[in-house]
Chains A and B, each alone.
Chain A
Amino acid sequence: MKRHPVGLVVLVCASMLYTGAVLAQVDLSGTWALASDTIDAGTGRVADDFAGIPLNAQGRAAGLAWTADEQQELHRQCEPWGPDYIITGLWGGRFTAVRDRFGTVHGWNVTISVYDRLPMVIWTDGREPPSPEALHTYSGFTSGKWQGDTLVTLTTHLKDDFLERNGTPSSNQETFEMFMSPHGDQMAITGVVRDPVYLASPWVIAGTLARRVDTGGAVNNSVLYCMPAELQAVSDGYHAGGELPNQIKTLEMYQTERYNIPLDAALGGPATQYPEFRQHMLQEGYKPPTTYCKIVCCDFTSRVCRNPQ
C-alpha cells in the first residue's frame, strides 16, 4: 500500500501550526560555569549570617542551631545540595539533551563536575509530576516549559536540605522555580525559592552562567564521588544542631569586630532584603569599620589582592 503524499503534508501542516513553540526551543547543550562575582557563592556566608534571606521564625531558629560540625557527622558527609545550588554554588552545570530514538528532545540533563549537587533532569515534554506522596530526593522532580527563548522550570519533591553553606535551612516542602535565558555565550538565571516551612516570602536570587570550552577544574565533569562515607538515609523533618539559639557569640564577634553590621540585619527576614532596611540601619547609626580589613578581604580568585595577616 502506497502512502499518499497529501497525508504527509497534512501531518506537516499539523506540526507546523506549532512552529512558534518549536522555534522557541533553544539548544542549551554545553558546559556552563558560574560567571557572577558573588561573595555568597565564593567565600560563602559565615555561620548565622542570614541577611537578605526572608527566613521566618522557624527558619531562623533552625539556622541559628546549625553548626559547621554538623557536616562532619558520618551520615551527612555526602549530603548533596539541592537544585538551587546552580545559582548559590560555584559550579554551574553541563547541559545535555535527553532525546528519544527519533531525536525528539524530552528534557535537559544537568550534571555537575563535582560531588556537590546531584544530576537533575528538566523534563520539557509535559509529563505530570509524581504524586505528592512520591519519594522526595535531593534532586527532586523538575518540569520545564519554553516561554520564547526562556526555559521556565519548577522543581518539587525535594528533601530537607540547605539553601546556603551556612546552615540556612530548606524543607521538603520547598519549591524552586527557575527562569533560564541564554544570551549568546552567557545564560541569565533567576531563581525563586518558596518554602512554607522556613521562609516568610519568596527568596529571589539570580546569577549568570558562561559557556566554557576549557577543561578547568570547575567544568571538566570528571565526577568526584563522595569518598568519606556513603550517603545514608537522612529523615526529613529535622534540622537539629548542637547550638542553642541564644549562643550566637560568634556572629556578634563577626558583625561587630569586622563589619559593624547590626545583629538584626544578620538574623534575616523579609525586611532585610529591601532598601528601606538600609535607611533603618543608617538611622540606628551604622558606620563602616575604620580599621583596615584583615580577614577575607579580597575575591578568592584574586591574584593581586591577598588577605593581609
Chain B
Amino acid sequence: MKRQAKRGIAQRLGRGALAGVLLFGCPALWAQQGAPGNPGAAAAPPSAQDQAPYDPTGYWVSLITQNWRFRMVAKGPGDYIGAPINAQAKKLADAWTQAQAQAAARDCEAYGGAIIMWLPEHLHISWQDANDLRVQTDAGMQTRVLHFVSAPEGTRAAAAAPRDIQPSRQGYSLARWVLAAGSQRGGRGAGAGAGMPRYGSLEVTTDHMLPGLLAKNGIPYDGNTKKTEWWDLRKDSSGEQWLSISTTVVDPEYLTRPYIYDPVFQKEDDGAKWDPSPCSPL
C-alpha cells in the first residue's frame, strides 16, 4: 500500500512537472498568454511595427548580380528572354515602339508594381504609421505602401482587402508577418520572448495594378496581374544585411506560367546615394 501511495505521488509529481514544463518551458506557448505578471489584462493587439521580427527600415541598394542584361539596360526589339510570355504578349511587344511610348508619356509603365523591385534602384523604407510600411524607390520615384492585416496563419491576407480599391501603378499591397515558432509576442519588449532572437518573414500580396510593362522593350502585363513576395532578412556573422525578396508574378493574360524573380538589396548606412530620378525609357 505504502509503495503504491509513493508511486501515485511520484506519478502525480511527474505529471505536474510535465505540465509545468509544457506551460513554462515552451516560448511558443508563453507568447500566447499575454504579459506575465498581468495575466488578466486584455492587451491591445500588437501593431505590425511592434510585431516586426526584423527592422526593414532604412536605405537599401539593389544588387544586380544576376540577369544583368535583363535588368540593367533597356533591351532591343524582339529580345524577350527571361520572361515566360505567351503568343499574345509577343504580338503586342513586337508592335510596341519606344517612340510611341515616349510620345504618350508612358515611360513609367515599366516602373509598375509587377516589376518595380527588380529594377536597379535604391529603396527608402519607413513606417508611415504603425501598420503601414512605405517603400520608396529613387528609380522612377515610385511609392508603395504595404498595408498590414491580422490574417490568421494559413489564410490569405488578401481576404482583408477593402473592396473599393482603384487600380494604381503600384497597386494595393497587403502584408503580414509570418513569425517562426517561438517568435510571437504581445508587443515590443513584452512577453516571455523578450530578449530572445526573433525570426520571421514578410509576406506581401499585391493586386489592383494598372497594366504595365515587364521590360522597357514592350513586354506587357495585364491589370489582373497578382504578385506575391516573401521578404527575408539575411544577416551574416560580419553584420552585413541583405533583404532578399522571392517574387512570383501571375498574369493569366500574358504569361504562360508564373514569372519568378529574386531581387536582393544590400543595407546602406544612410541615404547618401539616394538619387531620385524620373522614369527613363532606357
Checking B21, B74, B80, B244 against A288 with a beta-carbon cut-off of 8 angstroms, the contacting residue is B74
Q: Please name 4 further chain A to chain B contacts, defined as beta carbons within 8 Å, in addition to the given A206-B66, A278-B73, A288-B74, sorted by A numbering.
A: A204-B266, A299-B80, A304-B87, A304-B90
By beta carbon, the residue of chain A nearest B121 is: A275
A186 to chain B, nearest CB (A): 7
| Nearest neighbor of B246 in chain A, beta-carbon distance | A188
Question: Beyond A35-B260, A188-B246, A275-B61, is A149–B84 a contact (Cβ under 8 Å)?
Answer: no
Partner of B230, one of A4, A12, A40, A183: A183
| Interface check A37, CB cutoff 8 A | yes
The size of the chain A interface, using a CB distance under 8 A, is 78
Q: Which of B1-39 touch A at CB < 8 Å?
A: 10-11, 13-14, 17-18, 21-22, 25-28
Determine whether B168 belongs to the interface, using a CB cutoff of 8 Å to chain A. Answer: no
Work out how many contacts link A and B, with CB atoms closer than 8 A: 248
Q: How far is the CA of A9 from the CA of B203 in the complex (A)?
A: 39
CB of B43 closer than 8 Å to a CB of A? no
A17 to B84, CA, bound (A): 49
Interface 1/0s, chain A 265-291, versus B by CB < 8 A?
100000011111111011000111111
B40 nearest CB across to chain A (Å): 26
Let me know if A83 is at the binding interface, CB within 8 A.
no
B181 to chain A: closest residue by CB: A23
Q: Which of A4, A10, A148, A304 has the most CB of B within 10 A?
A: A148
Contact with B along A192-214 (1 / 0, CB 8 A): 10000000001111111010000
Q: Is the CB of A204 within 8 A of B78?
A: no
A51 to B68, CA, bound (A): 7
B91: nearest chain-A partner, CB-CB: A304
Most-contacted residue by chain B among A150, A207, A278 (CB, 10 A): A278
Task: Find A292's partner among B53, B77, B282 (CB 8 Å cutoff).
Answer: B77
Q: Specify which chain B residues have a CB less than 8 angstroms from the CB of A4 in the assembled complex.
A: 10
Q: Check A206/B244 contact, CB under 8 A, given A148-B199, A288-B217, A305-B90.
A: yes
A301 touches B73 (CB 8 A): no
State whether the Cβ of A6 lies closer than 8 Å to any Cβ in chain B.
yes
**CA gap between A149 and B199 in the complex, in Å:** 7
B81 x A9 contact (CB < 8 A) = no
- B180 sits at the interface (CB 8 A): yes
Structural contact, A299 and B84, CB atoms closer than 8 A: yes
Chain B residues lying within 8 Å of A281, measured Cβ to Cβ, are: 72-73
How far does the alpha carbon of A64 sit from the alpha carbon of B87 in the complex, in Å? 38
Residue in contact with B69 in the complex, picked from A12, A39, A148, CB distance below 8 Å: A39
The verdict on A308 contacting chain B, using a C-beta distance below 8 Å, is yes
* Residues B273 and A276 in contact, CB atoms below 8 Å apart: yes
A190 is an interface residue with CB less than 8 A from chain B: yes
In A4-27, which residues have CB < 8 Å from any B CB? 4-6, 8-10, 12-13, 16-17, 19-20, 23-24
B117-176 residues with Cβ-Cβ distance < 8 A to A are 120-122, 139
CB distance from A156 to the nearest CB of B (A): 13
State whether B196 touches A20 (Cβ < 8 A).
yes
Within the complex, what minimum Cβ distance (angstroms) separates B74 from chain A?
A: 5
B-chain residues with CB within 8 Å of residue A147 when the two chains form the complex: 197, 199
Whether the Cβ atoms of A278 and B72 lie closer than 8 Å is yes
Using a CB-CB cutoff of 8 Å, which residues 161-213 of chain B contact chain A? 178-183, 196-201, 203
Q: Are the C-beta atoms of B259 and A148 separated by less than 8 Å? A: no
B84 touches A302 (CB 8 A): yes
A interface residues with partner B (beta carbon < 8 Å)? 4-6, 8-10, 12-13, 16-17, 19-20, 23-24, 35-40, 43, 51-54, 147-150, 177, 179, 181, 183, 186, 188, 190, 192, 202-208, 210, 259-261, 265, 272-279, 281-282, 286-294, 296-299, 301-305, 308
In whole angstroms, what is the CA distance A287 to B64 when docked?
Answer: 19
**Are the CB atoms of A286 and B282 closer together than 8 Å?**
yes
Given the known inter-chain contacts A20-B27, A52-B64, please indicate yes or no for A297 contacting B81, CB distance below 8 A: yes
Residue among B62, B80, B260 making CB contact with A297, cutoff 8 Å: B80
Knowing A16-B26, A190-B244, A206-B244 touch, does A274 contact B64 (C-beta < 8 A)?
A: yes
B215 CB to closest chain A CB, in angstroms? Answer: 10
Q: Which residue on chain A has the smallest CB distance to residue B28?
A: A23
Interface centre among A149, A177, A303 (most CB of B within 10 A): A149
A183 to B231, CA, bound (A): 11
Q: B11 to A37, Cβ gap below 8 A?
A: no
The 3 closest A-B pairs by CB, nearest first: A148-B199, A148-B180, A289-B76
Name the residue on A nearest B266 (C-beta): A204
Q: Chain B residue with minimal CB distance to A18?
A: B25
In the complex, which of the residues B21, B53, B80 has the most CB atoms of chain A within 10 Å of its own CB atom? B21
Report whether A183 and B76 are in contact in the complex, using a CB–CB cutoff of 8 Å: no
